[in-house]
Amino acid sequence: MAIVDAFVSTGTLAVMAQYGLNWNWRVAIAVTVVFNIATDLFMTMLITWAIIRSQWFWLAVPIMSYPPHVVQFIVDNYVVVVELIELGSDGALFGLLTPTTHVAAPFGKTADKIINAHFHSLQVKKMLARSTKLAAALRPQTSKLLSRSFAHRVNMVLKEDVTKLGYRGDEVSVKAGYARNYLYPEKLAVYATDANRQKFKMDQESVDEVQQEKEHELEAIIYHLSNIEVDFKRHTPAKTDVKLTSEVNAQNISDMLEKNYGVIVGVARIDLPTPIKTLGSHTVKVRVDDAIEAEFAAGAVETEDADASEDDKKKGASKKKWTFRYKHIRHLRMATRSSARTAAKKVSSKTTQKGKAATKTTHHIQWRGKQITLFESRVYELISTIPEGKVSTYGGVAQALQSGPRCVGQALRKNPFAPEVPCHRVVAASLGIGGFQGSTGEDSPCIQKKRTLLAKEGVNFTADHRIDAACVHEFKEAEIE
């Protein structure tokens, strides 16, 4: 093999002297290094894993690595000695580099022999045998892993509604990566086992009841916003111009709602692609919930003369103030499982120069000597029909009045007729007892008082301190009327 090495190396030197000096040396070094690594890896792996067991293969393949080694040697030394070293010192430096390069080979072989002398051949054979068994065992597992990574799907039961995927309780088929990396860690779904199907799957009626209760709550919020009007005063360059000197953006609308009415609406929920810069009728959408949008449309756009009389004598831009009135359009789009439910009430608006739009007011009535709203009187009348020994839930009262549970809770919080109006007979949907003014805990005096009142009236309690479901009162049509 040494003779073959000498012939191959000499032939490579001749080729380099004839053609290689004009090559791109960076490319030559990269190609030879990659070729040596690939050749050594190919030969070593085939011999180690007993794919090819031949001494000629072990001895002949390394001959292929001789030309790349010679190319690297010529390029390294030629570049350093001829191109970079100054004239006169090239011979000394070449004589220094040559023995340094030749010393590395015998030193490496000696170190290799010393290290390998501590390993017995029997132990090496056992190690190779165990490695072969391990590789054989891992092959099917690797195939399964690769098959799972390409379009493998699993069945999941949804714990919450997921957009464009399904509703709570649905069993869906998704990709394994989507389930493993998003649905399961975010606690949106569980794997579709028999136990999980029994625990999380809901029937159509239960889903519709939950959706209907949510719809009532959101309708109550929109009903509360229906009487809100927001005024903005802006100047125009001239009396005939419709372009404003300062725009109205979503932040202005949000600040005005919070300042004047205490309604907190985030800027992100106000859909205003471009600020309002001109007079006229404009529509602004406010997203109350992910599945609901409430539309705000501009009412009458009016002009009002400035109060100061001196403004008429001044020259320049018009001093008239343009007022924007945003009147709420009760427009609800609720996405349900069966069909899209739409309830809309259109409000027409026109641009006028004078006159003011009528403002909706909350009507109060005289009921039992107190000044209350009409809705509060309906709540108190209905609760007064609950007999002793029975209770109702906030959701039950709200459903009977076609309103929201929060509106019922606010009315009961302001109850001025206790104990004539038995507000303690209205409890949460879980049939647990919550204290007055947000008190919690079994040791709270408010909860103890409420429990005592219900116990005296004959209401039964379970072992977990909840009201017996048999004590829940169902309202009749005559009571609601």
Domain final position from 309, 344, 379: 344
Q: What is the mean pLDDT of the chain?
A: 70
Q: Is the pLDDT score of 388 beyond 70?
A: yes
CATH of the domain at 389: 1.10.10.10
Residue 202's Cα: distance from chain center in Å?
25
- Of 103-112, 114-123, 290-299, 392-401, the range with the lowest mean pLDDT is 290-299
Mean pLDDT to the nearest integer, 301-320: 41
Confidence of residue 28 (pLDDT cuts 50, 70, 90): confident
Of the three residues 179, 202, 225, the one that is the final residue of a domain is 202
In this model, does residue 344 exceed pLDDT 70? Answer: no
62 and 18 in a common domain: yes
Say if residues 416 and 445 touch (Cβ distance below 8 Å): no
Q: Are residues 282 and 233 in the same domain?
A: yes
pLDDT: which is higher, 349 or 99:
99
Q: Do both 383 and 408 map to the same domain?
A: yes
Q: Give residue 330's pLDDT.
A: 32
Is residue 353 included in any domain, yes or no? no
Average pLDDT of the segment spanning 157-163: 84
Same domain, 220 and 252: yes
Is 167 found in the same domain as 73? Answer: no
Domain presence at residue 424:
yes
The average pLDDT across 187-209 equals 73
Residues near 149 by beta carbon (within 8 Å), at least 6 away in sequence: 177
Report the CATH number at residue 181: 3.40.5.10
Is residue 359 in a domain?
no
Average of per-residue pLDDT across 433-453? 64
Residue 137 pLDDT: 60
Q: Which residue segment(s) compose the domain that 158 sits in?
A: 153-202
Q: With contact defined as beta carbons under 8 Å apart, do 231 and 321 qualify?
A: no
Q: Is residue 293 part of a domain?
A: yes
Do 245 and 189 reside in the same domain of the chain? no
Last residue within a domain, chosen from 145, 172, 202: 202
Q: Is residue 99 part of a domain?
A: yes
- Alpha-carbon distance of 426 to 405, in angstroms, equals 11
**pLDDT higher at 206 or 475:** 475
Q: Is residue 423 flagged as an active site residue?
A: yes
Q: Cβ distance 46 to 100 under 8 Å?
A: no
Between CA 87 and CA 301 the distance in angstroms is 91
Q: Are residues 216 and 336 in the same domain?
A: yes
Domain match, 198 and 218 both: no
Task: Give the C-alpha distances (Å, rounded to integers) separating 215 from 69, 221, 288.
Answer: 79, 10, 11
Question: Does the residue 266 lie in any domain?
Answer: yes
> How confident is the model at residue 419, as a pLDDT?
65
pLDDT band at 415 (very low <50, low <70, confident <90, very high): low
Q: What is the pLDDT of residue 224?
A: 67
Q: Is residue 257 part of a domain?
A: yes
pLDDT at 424 > cutoff 60: yes
pLDDT tens for 312-341 read 444 444 443 434 333 333 333 333 333 333
Read off the pTM: 0.28
Tell me, yes or no, whether 260 and 331 share the same domain. yes
Same domain, 101 and 6: yes
pLDDT at residue number 442? 59
15 shares its domain with 107 = yes
Number of domains in the chain: 4
DSSP state of 332: E
Q: How far apart, in whole angstroms, are the C-alpha atoms of residue 438 and residue 258?
A: 24
pLDDT score recorded for residue 345: 32
Domain assignment of residue 465, yes or no = yes
Q: Phi and psi at residue 326, in whole multiples of 5°?
A: -105, 110
Shared domain check, 219 and 340: yes
